[in-house]
Amino acid sequence: MKESPEFYSKVQIIGGVGSAALMDHDVVIDVKNKEVIAPESMDLPTMRPNGSRRDLDVLVLSSSTAEIEAVEHLIDHTVKGELDPSVFGLKKEGPLKKQMLSPIFGFAAIRTCLSDRYEVSNETELLLTPYSSQLRISRDGGRFGMVKSLFPLAVPIDPESLETWVLTVGDSSIPIPNPAMSIINYTNRSISGIRPKDKSKVERLASNVFTKAPELREWAIHGPGSSQVYLGELLKSLTPNKNHCDVFGVGNLYSRMPRSTLAEHESFMVKDLSHEDKCRILAVAAMKADMLSFAESNKHISAFFQKFIERRVDSIVKNK
C-alpha cells in the first residue's frame, strides 16, 4: 500500500497481517519509530481452513461517512475479492444514545454484543460524568471526547492509544495499531471477552510482543491503553467463573466483581436507574456473554456463521 502520510495516520488494519507479524519469532518492534518490521518470508493465506475467506478489518479514525466510504472503495479495489473486507470508523453518539434511552428492553441495547469507539458530546452527560478529565475542546468550542463502549459498560479513550504504527514487510508498508492495542482489541471486542478460538493466538501475541518490547506492557496497563485494558477486565465480571486468560499479567490488580458492585461502577453507562434495574441489565449482558461464548466455542457453529451469516447481519455486527 503506497498512500499519503495523511492516509496512514487515519487508517489501521486490525488483526490479520498485523497479528501474524507480531507473532513471528523474527519480527522487530521499533518502539521509538513506531514501526514493526516483519521478515519478507512471512505469508498469510487468504482462505481459512474451513474454506471461508479471511477477514480484512479496517479501522478509519474518523466519523466522516465520506472518508469511510473512500477507504472502503480503496480497500475493495486493492483486495479484489481475495479477502472479506470490513471497513468501519469512529461512531457518532446516536446509537449510544438509543442504547441508553431504552436500556432494559430496547432493541439497540439488547442486540449489542460487540464494542465500538464513539465520539461523544457534552450532551451525553450520563456517560461523560466520570470522564470529565478526558474531554477535549473542538475547533468550534464544543466539548467532546471518545469512549469505547460495549453496553452497558463504557470507558474513555486516550487519543494517544489510537496512534498509527507502520508494519513493514519487504517493500510493503501497512498501517496498524500500536502492538499493545492489537492485544487490547482482542480482550474487549466481544461481550464474552477473548473468543475461545483466539485464546492461544492472543497469548502467543502478548508473549512475543511483551518479550521483545516490555515497555509496551507498561504502556498498556499504566499508560494510554489502560482504560481499554480495564474494559476487558470489567467484561470478565459478567462471566466470573469462566477460564479467562490474563494476557497482561494484571490478575493481582483487578478482581472480579459481583453484579451488585458492577451495577454501581463508574463505567456503568446508565446511572439514573434503580439498582434492581441495573442488575437486570447486567443479567441480560451475562446471558448474552454465555450464549456467545458457547457459539464461539463450537467450531461448526462458528464456521457456519463466518461462511453464511456474518455479512448478512452486518448492521448488528457493526452496531448500526
Cis amide bond preceding 152, omega within 30: yes
Residue 170 CA, chain-centre distance (Å), reads 28
Q: Which DSSP symbol is given to 111?
A: T
Per-residue confidence of the chain (320 residues) as pLDDT tens digits?
Answer: 445 556 667 899 998 889 999 999 999 999 999 999 999 888 777 777 666 778 889 999 999 999 999 999 998 888 877 888 899 999 999 999 899 999 988 999 999 999 999 998 866 644 544 544 444 433 344 445 889 999 999 998 999 999 999 999 998 899 999 999 999 999 999 999 998 889 999 999 999 999 999 999 999 999 999 999 999 999 999 998 888 999 999 877 778 899 999 999 989 999 889 999 999 999 999 999 999 888 877 666 555 555 545 555 454 445 55
Between CA 186 and CA 189 the distance in angstroms is: 6
Q: How much is the pLDDT for 186?
A: 96
Q: How much is the pLDDT for 283?
A: 96
The pTM for the full model equals: 0.86
Q: How much is the pLDDT for 180?
A: 98
Would the CA dihedral through 60, 308, 293, 199 be positive or negative?
A: negative
Question: Could you give the 3-state DSSP secondary structure of residue 248?
Answer: coil
**For 273, phi and psi rounded to 5 degrees?**
-85, 160
Sheet holding 164-169, edge to edge: 28-30, 35-38, 164-169, 172-177
Element at 155 (helix H, strand E)? strand 153-156
**For 305, phi and psi rounded to 5 degrees?**
-65, -45
Q: Which three cell numbers stand for residue 182?
A: 492489537
Residue with cell 453484579: 259
Q: Which three cell numbers stand for residue 193?
A: 471477552
By residue count, the chain amounts to 320
Q: Which three cell numbers stand for residue 115?
A: 464494542
